[in-house]
C-alpha cells in the first residue's frame, strides 16, 4: 500500500497541532488571555475551577474539516462533531452555525440536541447498546441515521420501526480489525472490541436486511471508528480499503445494492504537550479523500457521501481549565506538591489514561521558571495527580493555574466524586465571555437525593435491658 504515513510538513498548521487556543496570548500585565479576555479577570469573575472555550479555535477546526472535504472530495460530505468530546446546548448551536452535523451516543446527547433545536436530519446516533426508548426517540424525531452496532440492536431497531410503521435509515458499524497505536482504552477498531459487527458476521446480517427486515431497515452505508488520539494516517488507508471491499461485495452479492454513505469515524490526534506531533488535519483529510476516490474508482464504485466524526481534534485545543492554587507540600529530596481546587472530578484523564498536560500560571504567564512541582488535585485519592514535574515560576496560594488542551473529554467525563460540584463552562467569542453551563452548587449535588420516610422517623429500638 502506498501513501503518506505521516503527513509531515506543517507549513500552515491546524489548530489541533497547537497546545494553546488560537487566540491565546499574554497581555501587558503578563496575564494569559484568550481573545481580549484576561483569564485572571475571568477566574475572579466566574470562580474556579472553570472550563474556558475559545470559539475561534473550534470554528477554525470546523472550517478546516469542512473546507478540506469540500476541496478534496468531489462528492458530498458531512462533518459530524462527536458530541461526546464536550456537549451542551450552546456547543450544539456553535456546531450548527458552522454547518456541522452531530454524532450522539445516548438518549441524553440526543435530547440535548433536540432541546437546542439542532437540525435533526444531521444527527447520527452511535452506541453499542441502545435501549428501546433511545431508538424510539431517534425514530420519532426522524434523525439522520441510526448507526447500528450489532445483530441484537439491529433486531431491536427492526422491531421499533415495525411498531411505528417507519423505515429506519441505518449505517452498520463494523469492527474492521485495524490496529492503531494509541492507549488501549481508546482503541476501538481492533478485532477484540465491544464495538461493531464482526466482519465475519456480515453475511447473515445482510440476509436479514435484504429479507426479513426489508420493510423496516434501509441500509445506507457502513461506519467504522478505529480509535482516538491517532498520529498516523496508515490505519485510515487500511480502513478505506476494508470498507470499500465490503461495499463492492455487497453490490456483487445483493442484487446490485449500492451503499451511498461512508462514515470513517473520528480519531485524529491533538497536541497536549510538546512531545505530541499530531497530523495536520487539512493534509490528512486531503489524503483520506484522495485515497477514497482512488480506491472507489479502482473498484468502479460510485463515490459515497463521506462522513467524518471528529471530537477531540475539533475541541481539545479550544479548551483550557483555570484553577486556583492552594496548599503545597514538599517531600524533601522527592518532590513538591502544589494542590489546585479541582482535580480528577473535572479531569479524570491523567488518572484513567496517564494523560499528560501542559500548564502555566495565568497571572504570571511571562515569568521564568523557578521550580518543578507536581500538581495535585483536591480529591481524596492518591492517584488524583493532574500533572507531574511541571516547571513553574514561584507560586503562592491564590495564583491561577491554566491547564491547556482540556476541551475534549474533560467536562464531558466530569463527576461529582467527593460530592464536589462541577465547574462552569464559559465560551469566549468576540472578546466577550458567554456562560454555556452554570457552576453547580451544593444544592445541585444533593438535589436528587431521597431519604426514605422510614429513615426520617425511625421507630425507637426496644432496649432489651428494659424487657
Active site members: 380
Nearer to ligand LLP, 41 or 179 (CB): 179
**Residues between 403 and 422 that touch ligand LLP (CB under 6 A):** 408-409
Of residues 40, 60, 64, 126, which one binds ligand LLP by CB under 6 A?
126
Q: Which of 7, 35, 189, 265 binds ligand LLP (CB under 6 A)?
A: 265
Q: Is 139 helix (H, G, I), strand (E, B) or coil?
A: helix
Binding mask of the shown chain, residues 73 to 102, with x at each position contacting ligand LLP by CB under 6 A: ---------x--x-----------------
Q: Closer to ligand LLP at the Cβ: 23 or 313?
A: 313
From 86-94, 152-160, 304-312, 360-368, span contacting ligand LLP (CB under 6 A)? 304-312
β-pairing, 217-223 vs 261-263, is parallel
130 belongs to the binding site for ligand LLP (CB under 6 A): no
Distance of CA 361 to the CA centre of its chain: 26
Phi, psi angles (nearest 5°) of residue 219: -80, 120
Q: In the block, which residue shows the cell 507531574?
A: 388
Q: How many CB atoms lie within 10 A of CB 402?
A: 26
Minimum CB distance to ligand LLP, residue 255 (Å): 29
Nearest by Cα to 448 from 426, 428, 419? 419
Cα(389)–Cα(292) distance, rounded to whole angstroms?
A: 44
Tell me how many residues contact ligand LLP (CB under 6 A): 20
Question: Cβ closer to ligand LLP: 55 or 82?
Answer: 82
- Asked whether 301 and 250 are in contact (CB, 8 A), the reply is no
Considering beta carbons, is residue 254 or 353 the nearer one to ligand LLP? Answer: 353
CB of 459 to ligand LLP, least distance (A): 48
Q: Which of residues 317-356 bind ligand LLP (CB under 6 A)?
A: 349, 353
**CA dihedral angle for residue 138, residue 311, residue 308, residue 279, rounded to 10 degrees:** -170
Q: Residue 263: which H helix or E strand, with range?
A: strand 261-263
Task: Say if CB 413 and CB 367 are below 8 A apart.
Answer: no
Closer to ligand LLP at the Cβ: 193 or 328?
A: 193
Q: Residue 292 Cβ, how far from ligand LLP at the closest point, in Å?
A: 18
Stretch touching ligand LLP by CB under 6 A, among 152-160, 308-316, 324-332, 442-450: 308-316
Instruction: Give the chain's radius of gyration (CA, Å).
Output: 25
Tell the burial category of 463 from Cβ atoms under 10 Å away from its Cβ (0-12, 13-18, 19+). Answer: exposed
Q: How far is the CB of 180 from ligand LLP (least distance, A)?
A: 10
Nearer to ligand LLP, 309 or 399 (CB): 309
CA distances from 423 to 46, 170, 241, 417 (A): 10, 37, 44, 13
Reference 308, options 267, 247, 260; nearest CA is 267
Minimal distance, residue 85 CB to ligand LLP, in Å: 5
Site for ligand LLP, rule CB under 6 A:
82, 85, 103, 126, 186, 188, 225, 228, 265-267, 309-313, 349, 353, 408-409
Amino acid at each position: 500500500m502506498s501513501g503518506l504515513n505521516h503527513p509531515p510538513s506543517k507549513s500552515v498548521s491546524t489548530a489541533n497541532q497547537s497546545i494553546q487556543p488560537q487566540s491565546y496570548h499574554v497581555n501587558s500585565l503578563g496575564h494569559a488571555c484568550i481573545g481580549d479576555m484576561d483569564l485572571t479577570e475571568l477566574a475572579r469573575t466566574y470562580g474556579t475551577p472553570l472550563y474556558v472555550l475559545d470559539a475561534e479555535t473550534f470554528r477554525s477546526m470546523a472550517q478546516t474539516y469542512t473546507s478540506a472535504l469540500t476541496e478534496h472530495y468531489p462528492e458530498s460530505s458531512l462533518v459530524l462533531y462527536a458530541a461526546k468530546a464536550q456537549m451542551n446546548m450552546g456547543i450544539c448551536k456553535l456546531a450548527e452555525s458552522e454547518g456541522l452535523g452531530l454524532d450522539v451516543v445516548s438518549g441524553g446527547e440526543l435530547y440535548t440536541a433536540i432541546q437546542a433545536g439542532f437540525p435533526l436530519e444531521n444527527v447520527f446516533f452511535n452506541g453499542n447498546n441502545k435501549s428501546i426508548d433511545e431508538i424510539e426517540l431517534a425514530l420519532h424525531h426522524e434523525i439522520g441515521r441510526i448507526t447500528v452496532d450489532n445483530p441484537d440492536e439491529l433486531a431491536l431497531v427492526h422491531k421499533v420501526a415495525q411498531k411505528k410503521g417507519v423505515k429506519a435509515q441505518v449505517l452498520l458499524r463494523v469492527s474492521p480489525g485495524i490496529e492503531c497505536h494509541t492507549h488501549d482504552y481508546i482503541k476501538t477498531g481492533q478485532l477484540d472490541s465491544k464495538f461493531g459487527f464482526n466482519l465475519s458476521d456480515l453475511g447473515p446480517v445482510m440476509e436479514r436486511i435484504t429479507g426479513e427486515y426489508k420493510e423496516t431497515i434501509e441500509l445506507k452505508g457502513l461506519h467504522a471508528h478505529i480509535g482516538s488520539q491517532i498520529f498516523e494516517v496508515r490505519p485510515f488507508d487500511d480502513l478505506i480499503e476494508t470498507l470499500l471491499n465490503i461495499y463492492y461485495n455487497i453490490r456483487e452479492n445483493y442484487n446490485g445494492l449500492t451503499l451511498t454513505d461512508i462514515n470513517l469515524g473520528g480519531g485524529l490526534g491533538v497536541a497536549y504537550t510538546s512531545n505530541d506531533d499530531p497530523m495536520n488535519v487539512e493534509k490528512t483529510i486531503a489524503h483520506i479523500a484522495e485515497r477514497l476516490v482512488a480506491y472507489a474508482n479502482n473498484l468502479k464504485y460510485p463515490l459515497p457521501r463521506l462522513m467524518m466524526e471528529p471530537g477531540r481534534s475539533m475541541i481539545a485545543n479550544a479548551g483550557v481549565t483555570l484553577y486556583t492554587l492552594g496548599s503545597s507540600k514538599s517531600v524533601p529530596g522527592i518532590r513538591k506538591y502544589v494542590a489546585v481546587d479541582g482535580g480528577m472530578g473535572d479531569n479524570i484523564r491523567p488518572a484513567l489514561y496517564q494523560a499528560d498536560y501542559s500548564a502555566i500560571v495565568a497571572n504570571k504567564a511571562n515569568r521564568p521558571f523557578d521550580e518543578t512541582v507536581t500538581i495535585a488535585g483536591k480529591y481524596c485519592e492518591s492517584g488524583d495527580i493532574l500533572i507531574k514535574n511541571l516547571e513553574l515560576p514561584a507560586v503562592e496560594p491564590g495564583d491561577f493555574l491554566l491547564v491547556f488542551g482540556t476541551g475534549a473529554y474533560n467536562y464531558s467525563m466530569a463527576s461529582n466524586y467527593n460530592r464536589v460540584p462541577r465547574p462552569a463552562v464559559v465560551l469566549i467569542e468576540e472578546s466577550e465571555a458567554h456562560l454555556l453551563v452554570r457552576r453547580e452548587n451544593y444544592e445541585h449535588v444533593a438535589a436528587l437525593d431521597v431519604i426514605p420516610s422510614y429513615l426520617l422517623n425511625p421507630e425507637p429500638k426496644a432496649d432489651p435491658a428494659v424487657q
